[in-house]
Homo-oligomer: A and B are copies of this chain.
C-alpha cells in the first residue's frame, strides 16, 4: 500500500518560501487529495487503507511558491502528432506566466525536442501575450512539432545553457517518458529545473485520465465524416460508407463518434479482435445487413484488425517509436469489395480517411476550456517547485500525476464494459464477430 502511495507522490525542487503574487486568494494545500478508485461494492467490507493508498494530489495555486517570478525563464515545447488545442495550451501558459505571476522571459522551442539540439539549427523565439493572444483560433502548433525523442544529455545541456527554470512539455505517452528521463537527468545534475507535462493524446488513451484535450474536438470532426459516410451509403444502390478513424491501440474515438452520431452499423476497434470470414465473421454480418437494409456505415479504428495481417519481417516503428500499423482501412475496402464481387452483388463502397483533417482543426469550446485550465494548473505547479509531473483530470477533478503513473500502460476500452456495451446497443452489431 505504501508503495502505491509513493507511486503518486510528486517530486519537489525544494521548499516554497516566496509568497504567491496571485491576488485571487483561494490556495490549495499539498495534502488536499482525492480518491482515485471510487467504486464500492456494498456487499463487501471496504479496505480501509485504500483511501490512503490511491489518493491523488489536487492541482491549484499554492500560497507560497518556489521561484522568484521575475527571475524565471520558462520554455515551452510541443512534441508528437498534431492535436486540437496545442495552441490553446501555449496561449494559456504564456498568459498565466505573464499576467498572473509576472514572468517575462518565456521561450518557444520549435519543432519538438529537435529544437533543443543545436545541429538541427532551429531557432528559439520569444513568447509574449501580443504574439499568442489570437492563436486559439488556429489549428496545429505555432511552435510546430516533431516526432521522437532526442539525446537526453544534449537536451539537458540546452536547458542548462539557456538557464531554463521551468520546462513545459506538451506531448503524448512517449514524450512523457522522455520528460521523465529529463527530470532524472536534471535531478542528477542538481539543476533547479521544473519539468511539467501537459499530456496530449487525441486518442484519449492515457490511463487514469478522464479526458485528454483534443479528444472532444476530434469526436466533433469525426462525427461530420460519419454523417458524410452515411449520406454516401444512402446515396446510391447498395452503398457502404467506410471510415477509418484514429486509435492505434484504443478505440475511444471510434466508439465515441459512433455514440455521438448513431448512424454507424459496425464499429471495429483494436480491443475487440474479429474474423473476416466464417458465418459469424465481419463479412458475413455485413452481407446480412446489406441484404436487409441496402446500406451500411462502418467505422474502423486504425489499430483494429491487426491480427488479420500476416506479419512479414520484423516489427517496424516510426520516429515516435510507435509500431507501424498495417493499413486496415484500405485492407478492409479491398476485402469487402472482393467478397461482394465473388457473390456477384453490386455494391458502392466509399472509403474515407479523414485523419489529418480531424487533428488539425482548432479546439472546440469544451477543449479550449480544458486546455486553458490544464495550462493554468501547470503554471501553478511549476511555480511552486514541483517537477517530474503532469496535470490531468481524474474523477472530474484536476490533479498532479507523476510521469510514470501514466506512462506505464494505456487506457483501453473494456470489451465487457459500459462504453463498448453502449456501442453495441447503438450499432446493433453482434456481441462478437469471432467464429
Residues of A whose CB lies within 8 Å of any CB of B are 22-26, 31-35, 38-43, 46, 48, 51-52, 55, 58, 60-61, 82, 91-92, 95-96, 99-100, 111, 114, 120, 122, 134, 136-141, 144-147, 210, 216, 219-220, 222-225, 227-229, 231-232, 234-237, 239, 241, 256-257, 259-262, 350, 352-354, 356-357, 360-361, 364-366, 368-369, 372-373, 376, 395-398, 416-418, 421-422, 424-426, 428, 430-431
Contacts and interface: CB of A to CB of B under 8 A. Distances in A.
A352 B355 CA distance: 9
A234 B86 CA distance: 14
Contacts of A95: 262, 426
A83 to B, nearest CB: 10
Nearest to A428: B99
A62 to B, nearest CB: 13
Contact of A256 (B353, B357, B369): B369
A395 B366 CA distance: 18
B425 A96 contact: yes
A350 B353 CA distance: 12
Helix, strand, loop or mixed for chain A's interface?
A: mixed
Given A147-B236, A220-B364, 13 more contacts: A31-B41, A34-B40, A82-B231, A82-B232, A140-B231, A140-B235, A144-B237, A220-B365, A231-B360, A257-B365, A260-B369, A260-B372, A262-B368
Contact of A236 (B92, B146, B368): B146
Contact of A23 (B55, B256, B431): B431
A140 B418 contact: no
A58 B231 CA distance: 35
A366 B38 CA distance: 24
Given A60-B418, A220-B366, A262-B91, A396 B398 contact: no
A139 B364 contact: no
11 contacts: A26-B421, A40-B51, A46-B48, A48-B48, A82-B231, A95-B426, A140-B232, A224-B357, A260-B368, A260-B372, A352-B357
B35 A41 contact: no
